[in-house]
Amino acid sequence: MRLIALGVLCALFGQAPFAAAAPTAAAPLTDPDALHVSAIELRGVTFSRRPALRARLDLRAGDQLDEAAVQEGRVTLLATGLFDAVTVRLAKGERRGQVRVIYACVERVTTSIEGMHLGHARPTNLWGGLELADLDPFGLGVRLDGGFVASGTQGGVQLGGGPRGLFGGRVGLHVRAHALFGDEPFVGPRGQGLADGARDHIDGDYRRLGLQAVLTAPVGAVSRLRFGLRGERVDATLPTDAWQIDPDGAQQPFEFNLNAGWLGAAELGIEYDSRNDPAFPSRGIRASVHGRAGWLGGPFSAVLAGFENFIRLPFGHVLQINLRAGAVFGDAPFFERWFIGDLHPYIPERSLGLNFARRRGPNLLDGSIDEQRYETVAGRLGFEYRVPLKRRTAADPYAVELFIGAAAISLGTPGERGAVDALDPGLPLDVAVDAGLRIESKIGVMGLSLGNLFLVVDP
Amino acid sequence: MTGWLLAAALLAAPALSPPAPWAERDGEQVRVSIDLRAWFAAPDTPDATSLRERLTSGLTTRLRFWLELRDRDGALAGVALRRVRVRWHLWDERFTTVIEDDAGARTPTFKTADELIAGIAQFERWSVGPVPRSASVYRVEAVLELNPVTADQAVRMRRWLASPQTSASLDPLGGGLLGSFVRFFDNIKPGPVEDRRVHRGPWFRADRLPYVTREAPTP
């Protein structure tokens, strides 16, 4: 009977019952002889990486041996993302009571494809791009990344890098340069055109060359502060005879919301991430609040917040509740505002800051979301229900989950609708539903969803 | 018949993998015997060598041996566990251990690795639970987990995946809230344990298990 109960408990809780039954099971065996560390060796590690990695270990030569600290060092090394495997053992030192701590490491391929940009939508036939990163390509503790995206009319490239650990591995610095050559397909709320007549969109030619530096510092175990500075040169060639039709039906000069000149901006944010897994979380919270202030022909600022809560349900199912909200104030250029593609899964999101599609929101609620493009106030409240089809285990890194999600989306600029608000109070509100599969494998994580289809199919 | 099948599987097993488990029926209990010393043998394969070497790492090595009875759907029908903590004393050249299983907790010492492995990796007529009532087929799975890490440590080992530097857009969370995303990388392999071995026996009908005798059935 006891074994039946044991089996049932194991099936329900994995190995937890045993851990609960014997809380001291993980404790090291006591050693009557106090051992001291005479040296710490990192084997299988590129020579240039060793000083930085050694600094991260909570072990020093001459210290009394602390088994927990030695085992924690193994986890610390694996947490860098530089190694496939790390084993640790002791070896005799020069004198009785002295030991050398030897970490035997197997370095891994640290290059990754951080993102793929591929899409097809009017007026751009096809666009594509790639973002690559390497945690430490030269073994110097410096991360490098870069990316590009291009179509027949637009293109962008960015290159970045920086030390992964300043001040003993606690603080990260990342510097990135970007060059964007945009040809934004601007659309007005209810139509647009030039002096010679209506057009499907207005081409807005602009260039952005800039540099950004971001400093990140951990706050506690699961939070980090982020501080960034950015400088850009913005140039634009915009048609002077462009017009747009406002929600109230009035025709007026097109509002490009783009000033040429020098842009300077500073940002400060805090991010919290207590998820139990970065790819397939089943519990925890991920949240962030960012503030941004800048100048481009006039002052602008922004406040942005995001929240995701993962709740574990019976049968291994997971419910995720997500909320995003933001407001932009002042004379912000269009690329600093909320874009419909940032919120809506059926609109291609910006790739490296470039938008290639003139698609409007589908407007399933028959509101006024299809008139919104680059706006100052945005909100989104959604949920996602996840059903694991295959779980990742210690022996098998493959995992598959089915998800279905829905969200209410709102995007607008207060006062923009003017007099029409009284006559037509249609809210800029829409709903979106997405469903698909997420897969984790030995070569990374990927998703296939209804939203993906709308990247290549332009209805 | 089942006994013959198990014996045949035992003979056909590769030299370096443990022999097939022997399952038998003792009243209402399923009892399993298995010798897992082959996992610790020091043959040509680097993995097996490293498992043996880890016992002499000088640090406390934690092992969990699970004997599980599972049906075709992988559902657990019975289980038994032996937990071992072992440490090789570099200067005294002996193993001290704490062994916990159904027989209780004990703390033997061993002079050699062979003695230690013989003392912890052999299971003789271990009860894994009551004989399942259904006519389904089952098999015995022997699992060894080496140095399990805590849930927090397992999360830390994968946290680097969560903080790419590329999320510089307006969206503070980014990354396809509704699921459209892709990242290709050499996925990190460490799991919740440092090493894990599994050995599966042949399928058998629980209601046709031989009783406690080990002799082959007379034709």
The reply to whether A111-456 shares the fold of A31-107 is no
Q: List, as ranges, residues 8-47 from B with C-beta within 8 Å of A.
A: none
Residue extents of the structural domains in chain A = 1-27, 31-107, 111-456
Q: Is residue B173 part of a domain?
A: no
Q: How many domains does chain B have?
A: 1
Which of A114, A212, A290 is facing B183, going by the closest CB pair? Answer: A114
Q: Is residue B218 part of a domain?
A: no
What integer best gives the mean pLDDT of chain A?
Answer: 85
Nearest CA in chain A to B54: A89
Chain B residues with beta carbon closer than 8 angstroms to that of A306: 171-173
pLDDT band at B216 (very low <50, low <70, confident <90, very high): very low
Q: Is residue B217 part of a domain?
A: no
Q: Does this model's pTM top 0.80?
A: no
Single out the residue of B68, B58, B72, B61 nearest to residue B21, CA to CA: B68
Share of chain A above pLDDT 90, in %: 45
Mean of the pLDDT values across residues A175-190? 94
Q: CATH 3.40.50.2000: does it fit domain A111-456? A: no
Chain B residues with beta carbon closer than 8 angstroms to that of A395: 191, 196, 198
Chain B residues with beta carbon closer than 8 angstroms to that of A326: 170
pLDDT beyond 60 at B218: no
Tokens representing residue A10 in the block: 């194991």
Distance between CA atoms of residues A3 and B137, nearest Å: 20
Distance between CA atoms of residues A27 and B85, nearest Å: 9
**Cβ–Cβ gap B165/A67 under 8 Å:** no
Q: Is residue B185 part of a domain?
A: no
Q: Is residue B86 part of a domain?
A: yes
Q: A31-107, superfamily in CATH? A: membrane protein fhac (3.10.20.310)
Lowest model confidence (mean pLDDT) among A117-131, A157-171, A346-360: A157-171
pLDDT, residue B45, reads 54
pLDDT band at B167 (very low <50, low <70, confident <90, very high): very low
Is the bond preceding A123 in cis, omega lying within 30 degrees of 0? yes
pLDDT, residue A356, reads 92
Q: Is residue B170 part of a domain?
A: no
Q: Is residue B39 part of a domain?
A: yes
pLDDT beyond 90 at A387: yes
Query: Mind telling me how many Å the CA of B41 is from chain A's nearest CA?
Result: 19
Q: Which residues pair with B8 in a beta bridge?
A: none
Asked if B59 and A70 count as a contact pair (C-beta separation under 8 A), the reply is yes
Single out the residue of B50, B187, B53 nearest to residue A83, CA to CA: B187
pLDDT, residue B163, reads 56
Query: Residue B141: which domain range?
Result: 2-148+193-208
Phi-psi group of A315: left, alpha or beta (phi > 0 → left; psi -120 to 50 → alpha; rest → beta): left
Element (H, E) at B117: helix B113-120
Mean of the pLDDT values across residues A410-414? 88
- Reported ipTM: the value is 0.76
